[in-house]
Amino acid sequence: MKIAVINGPNLNFLGIREPHIYGSHSLADLEKEITSYGQEKNITITCFQSNFEGAIIDFLQQCYHDDVAGIIINPGAYTHYSYAVSDAIKSIGKPAVEVHISHIHSREDFRKNSVTAASCVGVVEGFGFDSYLIALDALVRYINKHKKEG
């Protein structure tokens, strides 16, 4: 099974940006952790990060062509206003789980709204890097359940 993990703007600054919120580990640390966790479960993880909305949309569309089974996406700030990313998630017809390292509902008011969540099968937030691992487990269960039903 192939799963894509997409990280949006400023997540390349993990470990530098607001460590009291996002922790002291880097994006490379996160990618290593989720890739290793996926390998334990016989899942191929492809990681992608961009600060550019169009590049994220292009990557989502490539996931369709690459027959990726599902998506884990942390849209970063695009969570709150990118209808283009939301539409791209819907358009590829692959199940996606939105993730956030922080608990966005306990932060500034503008962070409490997600325009991308409605395009996803679920949202995991507030568990630090473990949000990605929880999302991976939930996504695989979702995919397997819907294969049996389909």
Catalytic residue numbers read: 22, 100
| Residue 116 belongs to a domain | no
| Residue 140 belongs to a domain | yes
| Residue 81 belongs to a domain | yes
| Residue 106 belongs to a domain | no
- pLDDT score for 82: 94
| Residue 63 belongs to a domain | yes
In which domain, by residue range, is 14 found? 2-96+123-149
Counts of helices then strands in the chain (DSSP H, E): 5, 5
| Residue 51 belongs to a domain | yes
- pLDDT score for 34: 98
- pLDDT score for 38: 98
β-sheet with 122-125: strand ranges across: 44-49, 2-7, 70-74, 96-100, 122-125
Q: Return the structure tokens found at 69.
A: 């089974």
- pLDDT score for 111: 62
pTM above 0.85, yes or no: yes
Distances, alpha carbon 122 to alpha carbons 19, 24, 95, 137, in Å:
26, 26, 9, 12
Specify the number of domains making up the chain: 1
Query: How many Cα atoms occupy the beta-carbon half-sphere of 26 within 13 Å?
Result: 3
User: What is the H or E stretch that residue 145 is in?
Assistant: helix 130-149
Q: Determine contact, residues 5/46, Cβ cutoff 8 Å.
A: yes
- As to burial, measured by CB atoms within 10 angstroms (0-12 exposed, 13-18 middle, 19+ buried), residue 46 is middle
| Residue 31 belongs to a domain | yes
Count of residues in the chain: 150
| Residue 91 belongs to a domain | yes
- pLDDT score for 81: 87
CATH number at residue 22: 3.40.50.9100
- pLDDT score for 55: 98
Each of the 150 residues of the chain gets a pLDDT tens digit; together they read 999 999 999 999 998 887 777 777 899 999 999 999 999 999 999 999 999 999 999 999 999 999 899 999 999 989 988 999 999 999 999 999 999 998 776 566 766 678 999 999 999 999 999 999 999 999 999 999 998 776
